[in-house]
Structure 1
Amino acid sequence: MKDEELAHLRRCVELAAQALEAGDEPFGSVLVGADGTALFEDRNRVGGGDHTRHPEFTIARWATEHLSPSQRAAATVYTSGEHCPMCSAAHGWVGLGRIVFVCSTRQLQEWLTELGVPPAPVRLLPIRDVLPDAQVEGPVPELVDEVRALHRRFRAGTHDRR
């Protein structure tokens, strides 16, 4: 993992912390162009009840409005957690490129089980179960503990709106 990639992932963790502070589940994502420039970023915004407001889904929408198909294919999505099935599908439908995540779906499921969180209404699946040919990298051990701590804080607080 290159230093600049770790910097993008650290930004994702910062965005996840911002989501937590706003009462949302702690997820954050950054879209980076082929030249390494951050093009767009967002955090989770599901606290109001719209569970489609994941940052990866928002990135897919933004990319279709602002980037050509070739620019989308050359871009990388950095994210604090592996895409859910909805976000994986959006990523594939708009033709985004590589995905790099801090924590995997498997790790998140283990953490949520440890914390006694009931299953989500949609089954969590690894990205490749939705996008078999996706270029995916992760988890990133250097930052996993930080993301886990954010999820523990969220579940321990009054932020859980499910």
Structure 2
Amino acid sequence: MTVSEQDLRHLRRAVDLAAEAAAAGDGAFGSVLVDADGVERFADRNREQSTGDPTRHPEFEIARWAAVHLTPAERAIATVYTSGEHCPMCAAAHAWVGLGRIVFAASSAQISDWRAEWGAPVPPVAVLPITAVAPGITVDGPVDAFGAEVRGLLAGPSADA
């Protein structure tokens, strides 16, 4: 896994968006789409609770936006930075629209283990790595520098991080 200083800057932005989501009462997830020149093209945060729509994941919103605003060639060389590894729904959307590399702070396995420690409900879909859903995607993560912070955000203010 090779994560550059530029990758860390964009991942920092994704984690900051996760903090924004948590502060708004949504799940602590944030994501950023960056083009081949390193320019942020789209960013979003989780909006499940605030909208009542359980599909309002930032990675899914990125896929929707990219399908409309980027050419297939631009999508293929773009990178998505995200606080947590894509769920199966988001990994599939990413692959279907032809987005490129993914860099994530915390893996789905880590997040699943943390949630089990906290006694959180089991999610309604299987916890799978991105490459199990979309085997052709280049993936870098988890990035340990953000692990404790993401864990704390997901734990919320009343849980022990």
Residue 22 (structure 2) aligns with: 20
Question: Partner residue of 1:81?
Answer: 84
Report the identity percentage.
59
Residue by residue over 1:95-119, the C-alpha shift from the partner in whole angstroms, topping out at 9 and shown as x without a partner, is 0000000000100010000000120
CA distance in 1, matches of 2:41, 2:5: 18
3-state DSSP of counterpart to 1:125:
coil
1:150 aligns with 2:153: yes
Q: Give the total of aligned pairs.
A: 156
Given candidates 59, 84, 91, the residue that maps to 2:94 is 91
**Structure 1, unaligned stretches of length 5 or more?**
157-162
Change (3 A) 1:66 1:155: farther
Aligned twin of 1:3: 5
CA RMSD of aligned residues (A): 1.0
Q: TM-score, normalised by structure 1?
A: 0.94
Kindly report structure 1 stretches of 4+ aligned residues shifted beyond 2 Å.
Answer: none
Q: Which amino acid in 1 is paired with 2:21?
A: A
Q: How many Å apart are 1:72 and its aligned residue?
A: 0.2
- Rounded to whole Å, the distance in 1 between the matches of 2:126 and 2:25 is 23
Q: 1:29 aligns with which of 28, 31, 46?
A: 31
1:154 deviates by: 6.0
Residues 6-155 of structure 1: matches in 2 within 5 Å? 6-47=8-49, 48-153=51-156
Give the Cα separation in 2 of the matches to 1:6 and 1:146: 14
TM-score for both structures, normalised by structure 2: 0.94
User: 1:18 corresponds to which letter in structure 2?
Assistant: E
Q: Is the 8 A contact 1:102 1:141 kept in 2?
A: yes
Larger deviation: 121-130 or 21-30? 121-130
Unaligned runs of 5+ in 2: none
- Which residue pairs with 1:159 in the alignment? none
